[in-house]
Amino acid sequence: MPVVLVSRAGHVATVVLNRPEARNALNPELIVTLAATWDELAADDDVRAVVVTGAEGSTFCSGFDLGTTIPIMTGSRSPENAFEQAVADDSNLAARATLRGHDLGKPLVAAVNGHAIAGGFELMLACDLRVVARGVKLGLSEVALGLIPAMGGTARLARHVPSALAMELLLMAKPVLSDSLETSGLFNRLVDAADVGSVAHEFAGVIAANAPLAVAAARSVVRASSDLSEREALELEMAESNRLAATDDAREGPAAFMEKRAPRFTGR
């Protein structure tokens, strides 16, 4: 079976991590395949939103495989196949797979249907919206292994939750139940496990129905603004607004509203 399953419905793509027998741990094959999958979806203009989830009945993702990936990344084990060699040769592959410093360029919704630990937590953190199941464990375990969360967890977490909570998750290396984080701002919805997929796809479907250029611009401004002064952020916002005003979609949206019909956005 493929370690990544990709399907499309309309303008929404779904990516499923498919190593349920290994709790969807990121082994070299999954890393290489997932990195290539993100590149493919980023280049597909027909895809306007993406949902990522774990294989049904398993975790969302338990992080990097401690038996293969971590030993290869630390140099304590020699590669034994082409996937392992690829990870050994390109230290950036793991970052691409978990979207550390690599922007998909379109909204990504995490459907966290099971535990998200270490690298799995960091992949969840890289998503724009997050729908999380009740009763699942979320955490960063790296410092208990002599490592730090290096796929964005250490750098990003305090941007999403209060610093005290970020320090607790980072320094104690103990997972916490999703239920206790419902009001933390870490995710958008906490729902029953059976509803995670449908809610995440509802989010993605609504996003995909909106004007794609406007969605991309709004997302871009939000992501860039965290590193800008308020004045710089406002200037970026205005520049994007002026650019969008000249597009066909900017004319179609108001026209459809006045004509009481669904808009037909073309991304132009």
| Cα→Cα distances 48→18, 23, 70, Å | 23, 29, 34
Question: Are 49 and 106 contacting, i.e. CB atoms less than 8 angstroms apart?
Answer: yes
Instruction: Give whole-number Cα distances, 56 to 1, 20, 152, 204, in Å.
Output: 14, 8, 26, 19
Q: Are 123 and 131 in contact (CB under 8 A)?
A: no
Which tokens in the block code for residue 213? 């250029």
Q: Which of 29, 84, 122, 240 is catalytic?
A: 122
Q: Is 142 labeled as catalytic in the residue annotation?
A: yes
At residue 81, what is the residue type?
Answer: N
Cross-sheet strand order for the sheet of 189-191 = 4-9, 12-17, 49-54, 108-112, 129-133, 189-191
> Any idea what DSSP says for residue 55?
P
In degrees, rounded to 5, the angle at the alpha carbon of residue 66 between the alpha carbons of residues 64 and 72 is: 85
The yes-or-no answer on residue 40 being catalytic is no
In this structure, the strands spanning 116-117 and 108-112 are unpaired
Nearest to 129 by CA among 187, 182, 175: 187
Catalytic position from the list 40, 142, 235, 252? 142
| Number of alpha helices (DSSP H) and beta strands (DSSP E) in the chain | 11, 9
DSSP string, 146-189: T---TTTHHHHHHHHS-HHHHHHHHHH---EEGGGGTTTTS-SE
Report, as residue numbers or ranges, the catalytic residues: 122, 142
